[in-house]
Amino acid sequence: MKPFEEIVKFITDAAGVEKLDAFKPSEAAEKRVAELLARQQSGTPRSKEKEELRLFVQLDHVMSLAKARARGRRRVSAA
């Protein structure tokens, strides 16, 4: 198992299906990401903002994988 997959597995195991499904970023986080995306689209992001957006995208990907893994487990256990 790759290190990235280990992290996804850990999050899935620790949080569980219900918590992962219920998780949503806060309004403040969503607003910040919208600001970062707007700056990127206008071509004016600072290097720290580029890094912040890149990190958010990576974390969002990890959460998406964890949610998909949890849903897959739910289907298997329901069958």
Number of domains composing the chain: 1
Give the tens place of pLDDT for each residue, 19-47.
998 999 999 999 999 999 999 999 998 99
Interatomic CA distance for residues 45 and 56, integer angstroms: 15
pTM, 2 dp: 0.81
Interatomic CA distance for residues 3 and 71, integer angstroms: 21
| Average per-residue pLDDT for the chain | 92
| Domain that residue 21 falls in | 3-78
Interatomic CA distance for residues 69 and 3, integer angstroms: 16
* pLDDT tier for residue 2 given thresholds of 50, 70 and 90: confident
